């Protein structure tokens, strides 16, 4: 028999956005937090660089806004940018109150150490050594585990949103919760709530090479789109310029903070090359650095380029980059003495479900925060360390908006349980794993850093065949976490390809050989795709 849980607020995702949101609400409402694996696993945990915030007297809020707008290549929503940047400091102070320990300038100093990353004109990135995400995530998780109004559900992967239109046949479209799969018992579960918040992160696993962990399969974006939410700017996938290149170094990011501390990008013969592509050289926006590396690798036929910070002292490197230093040593690379082999990899999804400044989507009772959402902050290219900032700012903003609606109505009609009566166990899983690999490979080959219409149409044709196979499999066999993630990734691929074909220009993270210049015949436009439902 299917279990049914009732809460005031259902949060899908247990990263920094989801946990921050839960903590802001927990004194006022009963909250459930779902995580599809262990609670702390997610992109937040692996964020290295830090969080952008104006703390230096030589810096200013307006400078942070200007830098963000410049990086966004004309597509940022200036209202969203100002809203986010102006609230940065108080949200950082809230994190410190939750026990987050940021790195200071010295043992006795009360001043926090700030670093500078690509696109920033000042040092304004507060961090916890080179493991900021881990420090923030684990601190918030400890607080959430201790709160009596927060119930945590690890190993529960969401299947689909429950809406009044789809489940009850009503004309209005209100979110009433979600169906989930309890992975440990392999049974569907219903979570009923008048408010549902999608905080599932991005979709980097749609690509063969990514800095993202395995859980980054775009679940929230796909579920929201299927339920009827509009999606914006999915063509803008940020490829982080520097991931460790080693056959056993799966998804390990080499933080942009190294370049902020003077690390240089080199060819195999030791030649520096970034000065030929941008006046800011290594500190140019990420899209420019990633394309420059991609260009040099293809021009020379090399497998990687190199990042060299060996001019800094051994003590400096070990103090500021202990995690990266140790991981490189694990693979036989001493970054204090030699350059690190690096390649670009899919890193961040700038598009997502369209929301307002409160995190509200197009559907009543449904919010989206963090990388799942499109707030307009990032435009066509996210500036470094604005992502965790967006998570904490909009987690709080959404919570404040929900609190204004309290007490929440609990008069939800009876929701039908998940129906698995017409499916059967799959005899083998090879088709799921094969399709997963094929999807990620053709997305990397045809919809990567440099695109063309020919490549995009090839990807679209292959995707259509793949989606038919996935749909057939989904309707015939019992669901599994792998099948659910594959279904979501295929829809994410559809959104990325459709958005990329729609944009007839090169802007920010979207670069196409057929339209290499900006379209200056009209004001910059977001690429918006209507909801599927």
Q: Most distant CA pair in the chain: distance in Å?
A: 69
Tokens, residue 77: 């929503």
Q: What strands lie across the sheet with 231-232, from one edge to the other? A: 373-374, 352-354, 231-232, 528-529
Half-sphere exposure for 295 (CA within 13 Å, toward CB): 12
Alpha carbon separation from 149 to 25, 65, 100, 475 (Å, rounded): 9, 37, 21, 37
DSSP state of 201: -
Strand partners of residue 366: 196
Q: What is the dihedral of CA 507, 510, 514, 517, to 10 degrees?
A: 10
Say whether 192 sits in a helix, a strand or coil: strand
Distance between CA atoms of residues 383 and 19, nearest Å: 23
Half-sphere exposure for 116 (CA within 13 Å, toward CB): 16
Which is it for the CA torsion 491, 497, 502, 505, positive or negative?
Answer: positive
Q: Which of 341, 346, 348 is nearest to 385 (CA)?
A: 348
Q: Which residues are catalytic?
A: 286
Distance between CA atoms of residues 349 and 372, nearest Å: 8
130 in Cβ contact with 260 (< 8 Å): no
Q: What is the DSSP string of 392-452?
A: HHHHHHHHHHHHTTPSPP--PPPPPPP--TT-B--S--HHHHHHHHHHHHHHHHHSSSSB-
């Amino acid at each position: 028999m299917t279990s049914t849980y009732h809460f005031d607020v259902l949060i899908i995702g247990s990263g920094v956005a989801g946990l921050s949101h839960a903590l802001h609400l927990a004194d006022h409402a009963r909250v459930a937090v779902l995580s599809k694996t262990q609670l702390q696993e997610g992109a937040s945990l692996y964020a290295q660089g830090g969080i952008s915030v104006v703390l230096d007297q030589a810096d200013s809020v307006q400078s942070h806004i200007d830098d963000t707008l410049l990086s966004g290549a004309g597509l940022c929503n200036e209202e969203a940018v100002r809203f986010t940047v102006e609230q940065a400091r108080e949200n950082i102070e809230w994190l410190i109150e939750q026990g987050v320990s940021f790195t200071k300038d010295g043992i006795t100093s009360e001043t926090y150490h700030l670093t500078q990353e690509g696109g920033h004109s000042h040092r304004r990135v507060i961090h916890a050594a080179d493991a900021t995400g881990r420090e923030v995530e684990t601190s918030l998780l400890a607080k959430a585990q201790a709160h009596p109004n927060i119930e945590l559900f690890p190993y529960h992967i969401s299947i689909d949103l429950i809406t009044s239109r789809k489940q009850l046949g009503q004309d209005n479209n209100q979110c009433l919760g979600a169906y989930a799969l309890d992975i440990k018992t392999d049974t569907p579960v219903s979570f009923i709530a008048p408010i549902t918040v999608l905080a599932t992160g991005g979709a980097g696993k749609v690509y063969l090479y990514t800095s993202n962990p395995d859980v980054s399969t775009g679940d929230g974006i796909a579920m929201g789109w299927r339920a009827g939410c509009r999606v914006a700017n999915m063509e803008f996938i940020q490829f982080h310029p520097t991931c460790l290149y080693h056959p056993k170094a799966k998804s390990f990011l080499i933080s942009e903070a190294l370049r902020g501390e003077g690390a240089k990008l080199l060819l195999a013969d030791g030649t520096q090359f970034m000065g030929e592509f941008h006046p800011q050289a290594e500190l140019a926006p990420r899209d420019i650095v990633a394309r420059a590396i991609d260009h040099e690798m293809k021009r020379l036929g090399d497998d990687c380029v190199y990042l060299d910070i060996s001019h800094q002292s051994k003590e400096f490197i070990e103090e500021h980059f202990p995690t990266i230093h140790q991981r490189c040593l694990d693979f036989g690379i001493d970054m204090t003495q030699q350059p690190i082999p690096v390649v670009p990899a899919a890193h961040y999804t700038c598009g997502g479900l369209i929301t307002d400044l409160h995190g509200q989507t197009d559907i009543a009772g449904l919010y989206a925060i963090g990388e799942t959402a499109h707030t307009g902050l990032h435009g066509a290219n996210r500036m470094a360390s604005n992502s965790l900032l967006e998570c904490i700012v909009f987690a709080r903003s959404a919570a404040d908006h929900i609190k204004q609606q309290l007490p929440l109505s609990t008069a939800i009609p009876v929701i039908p349980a998940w129906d698995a009566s017409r499916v059967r166990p799959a005899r083998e899983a090879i088709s799921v794993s094969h399709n997963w690999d094929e999807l990620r490979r053709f997305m990397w080959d045809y919809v990567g850093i440099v695109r063309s219409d020919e490549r995009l149409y090839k990807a679209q044709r292959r995707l259509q065949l793949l989606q038919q196979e996935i749909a057939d499999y989904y309707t015939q066999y019992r669901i599994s976490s792998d099948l659910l993630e594959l279904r979501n990734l295929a829809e994410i691929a559809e959104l990325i390809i459709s958005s990329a074909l729609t944009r007839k220009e090169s802007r920010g993270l979207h670069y196409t050989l057929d339209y290499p210049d900006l379209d200056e015949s009209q004001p910059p436009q977001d690429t918006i795709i209507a909801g599927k439902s």
